[in-house]
């Protein structure tokens, strides 16, 4: 008896100190987070405290934007978004219908709760709709009417089956559900964060990668009427799950610009689907509160906003990561070591494969981030439980079949077009059409780890320290709710086996990112929904700790809890304000579409459109962000061979060329229909100081081409074309001095400038 009384006394001091350690951790982490400089924002380095004091002004400007001369922002312009929203809802309805029909086919629709069912249906349906668009595009059948009919048929079929099933169960009334008041408020806050995401997604794109291939590839497919190999843009040979949804939007609207807006809006829907998946996993590892607060943590993260309003693939990656994890948890909880697997176990094994394959179909890293780790977990499970070989083989086959159904078509497409199922990767194994050892070496160098894996432990240790800070604190679009609260999950007293699976998933994704990628931030972003779950558990642990009604808790603990709650609320407001600033993406929510379309055009595109007119065609050299161009054009990306080089020379060896005869050069350009050539020296310098760029293209080369070059230079206004020398990076200055001194100009006033563009016109076309 005395022993049982003494134990609480010995434990009580330590238990009472833990909340103070938690409070100290939160204060230290938040202070470090808000005082961490944000590179690339504003004039010079600023930190989040500077932005914090501007939060009221930022939020007010979102509601009542400042009217500038020539500005066309107005709440009335939201009417222009109605058609975009309508087409997006049509696609989403069709996708959900497709997903529900697929779950019916696997006999899984009735076993999931409504939240899991909706998340699974949406994610699976969007993957199938993407494959449907790919199939039609490959067959050259991108018909607007056909797509409309197919989508409407799927919606009608699912509505019919749902109504018939509901009629059968009309007599079985469920008991009224109790709605937690706090869950309603959390749900309302989720809607608050989703609103700017929706408005931002319906705006034109400004991001380089998006305009270079995420929406440029679909544009070229749409204009050609089919999905085909684009040798000038290697990125379009990636798996294109999200990009096919953009193409679907283009086909439905009959316009590539409007369709891109529809596609972006559909891609934004991955955010609420991810939140539903987080909620479903959260309630499994804890309860509804943890699920809801975890979803809020995810939706309130500026990174989530950024990947939702920019047509990146990471929004879909996050969704398929959490849906793969949710499917795995369902399989692990139902799987038994019996000799005969149930139809449900078999169906969920295939569902795991479908979502793992969808992750890979979204982006190649999904192979190592999700597909292989989930396969290893499933394999380990059947081995530890000593499952009969026949059942093990069945499960493995179903997982592989699921993965092949969603990723396989992309591998088949690449194999038919290039001979390499994962083009341009693994060139040494499969080879690849329009690819060679030189391009492959350039690609690998541009996507390699900063230091070789395990070959330089000291360098890796330094990288690890730097990347831990960058990921947790320094990332511009990070939230302190993510890594600031995730460690507190270990204080949660009711941890179950599913909690450890979630923790393992987070560790696995971060480890794979650090060891097998080139360490850019967007490659670790898919871990956000998993870390958000741990943060939700951490919030629940803090709530339990500070607001416990135990007699052992000091009277002031609830007040400490309220102070922490206030800090979290302030953080949510800060995140809402920060994600709606230009730092997180184009934020002219109320702008007129015609005005926005002109605002987002790069200077080189505007210049080309003014010069080319309706009957010409421009060759962009260096510039690959060409989506907005309404004139005809040709271009190539940095990892493809230069068209200018191919049309004007023969390559004799490394860094050695022979110029073609004047007649041949002129013939090559005339056969390609080129009337103008625009060189963007800004982009060429950016590439030369990062990925590298062919040495053939240089100011000196233009001098060598002068006698046989069939083009005449078009003078450009100095105020437009010359850039202040002091505004460019030091690495650019060094490169200009070494490689292209002709780009450096001194004005009459003695100021040093850099020439940004050169425009040439085919002789005799004016």
Q: Give the pLDDT confidence score for residue 6 in this predicted structure.
A: 41
Which residue is listed with tokens 């409070």?
23
Mean residue pLDDT of the chain comes to 90
Residue 202 has pLDDT above 90, yes or no: yes
Kindly indicate the confidence band of residue 547, based on its pLDDT and cuts at 50, 70 and 90: confident
pLDDT for position 44: 59
For strands 722-724 and 752-755, give the pairing. Answer: antiparallel
d(CA 519, CA 450): 8
Taking residues 715-725, report their average pLDDT. Answer: 91
| Token couple for 421 | 């199922």
Report how far apart the first and last C-alpha atoms of the chain are (Å, whole number): 104
Q: Residues of 87-122 as b/e, b for ≥16 C-beta within 10 angstroms?
A: bbebbbbbbbbbbbbbbbebebbeebeebbbbbbbb
**What pLDDT sits at residue 389?**
85
d(CA 272, CA 298): 10
- Please list, in sequence order, all residues whose beta carbon lies within 8 angstroms of the beta carbon of residue 720, skipping any fewer than 6 positions away: 603
Task: Output the CA–CA distances (angstroms, integers) from residue 60 to 147, 193, 209, 580, 709, in the order listed.
Answer: 42, 16, 31, 11, 56
Cα–Cα dist 41/90, whole Å: 38
Compute the distance between CA of residue 59 and CA of residue 576 in angstroms, rounded to an integer. Answer: 8
Position 545 scores a pLDDT of: 81
pLDDT over threshold 90, residue 401 = yes
Return the higher-pLDDT residue of 316 and 718. 316
Of residues 21 and 9, the one with the higher pLDDT is 21
pLDDT tens digits along 488-527: 999 988 889 999 999 999 999 999 999 888 888 889 999 9
Question: Left if phi > 0, otherwise alpha if psi is -120 to 50, otherwise beta: which for 708?
Answer: alpha
Predicted confidence (pLDDT) at residue 557 exceeds the cutoff of 80: no
* Sign of the C-alpha dihedral computed for residues 449, 451, 452 and 458 taken in this order: negative
DSSP calls for 271-329: HHHHHHHHHHHHHHHS-HHHHHHHHHHHHTSHHHHHHHHS--SHHHHHHHHHHHHHHHH
CA distance 476 to 48: 9
Encode pLDDT of 92-125 as tens digits: 999 999 999 999 999 998 899 999 999 999 999 9
> Which is it for strands 711-714 and 757-762: parallel, antiparallel or unpaired?
antiparallel
CA distances to 294, 421, 534 from 408, in Å: 33, 9, 33
541 DSSP 8-state letter: H
Cβ–Cβ < 8 Å for 204, 261 = yes
Q: pLDDT band for position 198 (50/70/90)?
A: very high
CB contact set of 139 (below 8 Å; sequence gap of 6+):
226
Strand, coil or helix: what is 9? helix
Tell which residue, 147, 307, 306, 313, has the closest CA to residue 242: 313
In the 3-class helix/strand/coil scheme, how is 148-202 assigned residue by residue? HHHHHHHHHHHHHHHHHHHHHCCCCCCCCCCCCHHHHHHHHHHHHHHHHHHHHHC
Q: What is the DSSP letter of 743?
A: G
Nearest residue to 758 via CA among 692, 708, 701: 701
Cα–Cα distance list, 108 to 99, 329, 348 (Å): 11, 15, 8
Q: Which tokens go with 150?
A: 């197919």
Residue with tokens 């799927």: 154
d(CA 129, CA 350): 18
The encoded tokens of residue 302 equal 């500026």
The strand pair at 617-621 and 632-634 is best described as parallel
The two three-digit tokens of residue 236, written as one number: 């379009």
CA 304 from chain centre, in angstroms, equals 9
Q: Are strands 722-724 and 676-680 parallel, antiparallel or unpaired?
A: unpaired
pLDDT at 446 over 50: yes
Find the angle CA(717)-CA(718)-CA(722) to the nearest 5 degrees: 130
Contacts with 15 (C-beta within 8 Å, 6 or more apart), sequence order: 552
Separation of alpha carbons 371 and 377, rounded Å: 10
Alpha helix ranges (H) inside 206-269:
208-209, 216-224, 241-253, 256-268
In the numeric block, the tokens 């067959």 are attached to 139
Average pLDDT of the residues in 195-208:
96
More confident residue, 322 or 342: 322
Interior angle at CA 541, CA 539 and CA 545, nearest 5: 115
3-state helix, strand, coil in the chain (%, to 5): 65, 5, 30
Tell whether the model's pLDDT for residue 453 goes beyond 80: no
- What mean pLDDT do residues 146-151 have? 96
575 compared with 750, residue with greater pLDDT: 575
Does pLDDT of 173 surpass 60? no
pLDDT in tens, 353-365: 999 999 999 999 9
pLDDT digits (tens, 9 = 90+) for 269-290: 999 999 999 999 999 999 999 9
What was the pLDDT predicted at 462? 81
Q: Dihedrals φ, ψ of 92, to 5°?
A: -65, -40
DSSP 537: H
Whether residue 141 is predicted with pLDDT greater than 70 in this model: the reply is yes
Query: Which phi and psi angles does 111 have, rounded to 5°?
Result: -95, -15
Lowest mean pLDDT among 15-24, 39-48, 168-177, 312-321: 168-177
Q: How far is CA 128 from CA 123, 346, 370, in A?
A: 9, 20, 19
- Given a cut of 70, whether residue 629 has pLDDT beyond it is yes
CB-based contacts of 195: which residues, under 8 Å, 6+ apart? none
H/E element, 711: strand 711-714
Average pLDDT over residues 228-246: 96
b/e map 193-212, b = 16+ CB within 10 Å = bbebbbbbbbbbbbbebbbb
Higher-scoring residue by pLDDT: 558, 87? 87
The rounded distance, in Å, linking the Cα atoms of 485 and 338 is 40
Instruction: Report d(CA 99, CA 453) in Å as an integer.
Output: 41
């Amino acid at each position: 008896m005395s022993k049982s009384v003494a134990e609480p006394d010995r434990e009580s001091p330590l238990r009472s100190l833990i909340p103070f350690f938690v409070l100290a951790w939160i204060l230290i982490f938040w202070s470090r987070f808000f005082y961490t400089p944000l590179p690339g924002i504003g004039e010079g380095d600023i930190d989040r405290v500077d932005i914090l004091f501007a939060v009221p002004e930022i939020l007010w400007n979102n509601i009542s934007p400042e009217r500038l001369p020539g500005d066309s922002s107005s709440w009335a312009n939201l009417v222009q978004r109605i058609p975009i929203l309508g087409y997006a809802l049509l696609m989403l309805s069709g996708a959900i219908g497709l997903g529900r029909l697929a779950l019916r086919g696997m006999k899984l629709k009735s076993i999931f709760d409504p939240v899991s069912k909706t998340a699974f249906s949406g994610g699976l349906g969007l993957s199938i709709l993407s494959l449907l668009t790919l199939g039609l595009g490959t067959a050259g059948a991108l018909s607007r009417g056909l797509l409309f009919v197919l989508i409407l048929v799927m919606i009608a079929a699912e509505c019919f089956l749902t109504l018939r099933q509901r009629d059968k169960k009309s007599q079985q009334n469920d008991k009224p559900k109790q709605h937690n008041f706090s869950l309603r408020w959390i749900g309302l806050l989720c809607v608050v964060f989703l609103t700017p995401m929706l408005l931002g997604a319906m705006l034109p794109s400004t991001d380089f990668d998006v305009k270079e291939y995420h929406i440029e590839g679909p544009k070229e497919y749409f204009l050609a009427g089919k999905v085909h190999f684009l040798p000038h843009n290697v990125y379009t040979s990636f798996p294109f799950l999200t990009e096919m949804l953009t193409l679907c939007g283009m086909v439905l609207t009959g316009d590539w610009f409007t369709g891109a807006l529809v596609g972006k809006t559909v891609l934004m829907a991955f955010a609420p689907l991810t939140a539903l998946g987080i909620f479903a996993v959260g309630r499994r590892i804890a309860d509804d509160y943890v699920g809801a607060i975890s979803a809020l943590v995810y939706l309130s993260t500026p990174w989530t906003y950024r990947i939702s309003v920019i047509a990146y693939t990471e929004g879909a990656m996050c969704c398929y990561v959490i849906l793969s994890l949710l499917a795995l948890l369902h399989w692990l909880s139902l799987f038994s070591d019996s000799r005969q697997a149930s139809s449900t176990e078999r169906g969920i094994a295939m569902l795991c494969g479908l979502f793992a394959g969808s992750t890979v179909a979204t982006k190649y890293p999904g192979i190592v981030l999700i597909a292989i780790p989930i396969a290893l977990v499933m394999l380990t499970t059947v081995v530890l439980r000593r499952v009969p070989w026949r059942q093990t083989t069945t499960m493995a086959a179903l997982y592989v079949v699921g993965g092949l159904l969603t990723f396989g078509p992309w591998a088949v497409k690449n194999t038919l077009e290039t001979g390499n199922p994962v083009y341009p990767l693994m060139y040494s194994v499969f080879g690849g059409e329009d690819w060679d050892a030189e391009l492959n070496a350039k690609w690998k160098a541009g996507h390699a780890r900063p230091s070789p894996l395990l070959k330089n432990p000291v360098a890796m240790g330094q990288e690890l320290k730097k990347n831990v800070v960058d990921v947790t604190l320094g990332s511009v679009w990070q939230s302190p709710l993510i890594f600031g609260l995730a460690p507190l999950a270990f204080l949660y007293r009711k941890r179950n086996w599913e909690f450890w699976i979630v923790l393992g998933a987070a560790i696995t994704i971060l480890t794979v990112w650090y060891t097998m990628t080139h360490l850019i931030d967007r490659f670790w972003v898919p871990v956000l929904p998993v870390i958000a779950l741990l943060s939700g558990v951490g919030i629940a642990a803090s709530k339990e700790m500070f607001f416990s009604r135990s007699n052992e808790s000091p009277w002031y603990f609830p007040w400490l809890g309220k102070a922490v709650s206030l800090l979290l609320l302030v953080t949510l407001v800060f995140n809402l304000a920060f994600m709606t600033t230009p730092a997180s993406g184009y934020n002219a929510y109320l702008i007129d579409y015609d005005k926005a379309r002109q605002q987002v055009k790069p200077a080189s595109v505007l210049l080309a459109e003014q010069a080319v007119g309706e009957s010409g065609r421009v060759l962009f050299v260096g510039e690959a962000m060409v989506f907005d161009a309404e004139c005809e054009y040709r271009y190539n990306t940095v990892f493809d061979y230069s068209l200018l080089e191919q049309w004007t020379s023969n390559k004799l060896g490394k860094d050695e060329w022979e110029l073609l005869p004047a007649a041949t050069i002129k013939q090559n350009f005339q056969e390609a229909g080129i009337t103008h050539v625009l060189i963007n020296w800004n982009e060429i310098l950016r590439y030369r100081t990062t990925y590298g760029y062919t040495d053939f293209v240089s100011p000196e080369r233009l001098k060598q081409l002068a006698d046989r070059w069939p083009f005449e230079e078009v003078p450009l206004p100095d105020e437009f074309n010359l850039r202040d020398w002091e505004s460019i990076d030091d690495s650019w200055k060094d490169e200009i001095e070494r490689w292209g001194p002709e780009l450096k100009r001194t004005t009459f006033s003695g100021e040093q400038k850099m020439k940004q563009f050169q425009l040439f016109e085919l002789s005799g076309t004016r």
